[in-house]
Chains A and B, each alone.
Chain A
């Protein structure tokens, strides 16, 4: 069965960096686009970024453009999100999700990122 497991969250100071990982299993990872979505505490869902199956096409939400970098390693069935220049407003649970054309069909359990001094 499809499984997505995020890791790498934690407490970081404003201006700091963090790298999130998402380990995929149960499907041919290299066939699918992947996405990151986040949810601030008590708030709704916000799409952050996605990456094509080969890694050649990447998009970001305006709120993270220039600070976050999405990448993937198809040999390791893994998705990453490098987050730099973190701000308090980046505090959220970060989910990875599989993109199936215009749909997001499977989500991980999420990893919490807290940006605070």
Chain B
């Protein structure tokens, strides 16, 4: 199975400052169809996960443009340009290239310093 790792696992940030989360996969996430199925999810406290980014860098509808995704192959990054209080939560990357088994990263907890 593909193993997803994230760093850091905990990320205290100052309001208004940038934040960056790294996600690495144990195998390339480039699918035979040419797409790279790497999603980013946000899970606010007490809520279900919400997808922010799909196919590495595509923002979902309604997601603020301070969120951006980048990367290729096995290395990916989620960036928040200026952290706001509502961004507190846990962020997960997930690969869907090597299905049938989707695999998630362990999560990165973002909170305010």
Same complex for A and B? Answer yes
A-B pairs, top 4 by smallest CB distance, nearest first, are A102-B37, A102-B96, A59-B100, A47-B102
Contact B35 A102, beta carbon cutoff 8 Å: yes
With A44-B106, A59-B100 in contact, do A107 and B48 touch (Cβ < 8 Å)? Answer: yes
- 11 A–B pairs (Cβ distance < 8 Å), ordered by A: A45-B49, A47-B101, A50-B100, A61-B101, A101-B35, A102-B96, A102-B99, A103-B37, A103-B54, A104-B39, A105-B54
Q: Does A14 contact B (CB under 8 A)?
A: no
Q: Does B76 contact A (CB under 8 A)?
A: no
Instruction: Compute how far the CA of A47 lies from the CA of B96 in the bound complex, rounded to whole angstroms.
Output: 11
With A44-B106, A44-B107 in contact, do A104 and B51 touch (Cβ < 8 Å)? Answer: yes
Chain A facing B: main interface SS: strand
Contact B101 A103, beta carbon cutoff 8 Å: no
Partner of A47, one of B48, B51, B104, B107: B104
Q: Does A46 contact B (CB under 8 A)?
A: yes
Query: Residues 79-104 of chain A: 1 if any B CB is under 8 Å from the residue's CB, otherwise 0?
Result: 00000000000000001000001111
Scan residues 59-110 of chain B and give those whose CB is less than 8 A from a CB of chain A: 60, 92, 94, 96-97, 99-107
Scan residues 47-68 of chain A and give those whose CB is less than 8 A from a CB of chain B: 47, 50, 59, 61
Contact A104 B50, beta carbon cutoff 8 Å: no
The residue in chain B whose Cβ has the minimal distance to the Cβ of A6 is: B48
Query: Residues 1-41 of chain B: 1 if any A CB is under 8 Å from the residue's CB, otherwise 0?
Result: 00000000000000000000000000000010001010101
Contact A103 B39, beta carbon cutoff 8 Å: yes
Q: Determine how close the nearest CB of chain A comes to the CB of B49; give it in whole angstroms.
A: 5
Partner of A108, one of B48, B96, B102, B107: B48
Contact B54 A47, beta carbon cutoff 8 Å: no
Instruction: Compute how far the CA of A104 lies from the CA of B39 in the bound complex, rounded to whole angstroms.
Output: 8
Contact B103 A47, beta carbon cutoff 8 Å: yes
Residues on A with C-beta less than 8 A from B49 are 45, 95, 107
